[in-house]
Amino acid sequence: MAYVVTAPCFGCKYTDCVVVCPCECFHEGEQMLYIDPMECVDCDACVPECPVEAIFPESDVPEQWRNFIALNAEMAPQTPSITTKKAPLAGPP
- Kindly write down the DSSP assignment for every residue of 42-89, as one continuous string: ---SSGGG-TT--EEEGGG--GGGTHHHHHHHHHGGGS-B--S----S
- Domains of the chain in sequence order: 3-78 (3.30.70.20)
Tell me the pLDDT tens digit for each residue of 35-72.
999 999 999 999 999 999 999 999 999 999 999 999 99
Tell me the pLDDT tens digit for each residue of 22-36.
999 999 999 999 999
Please say if the pLDDT value at position 91 is more than 70. no
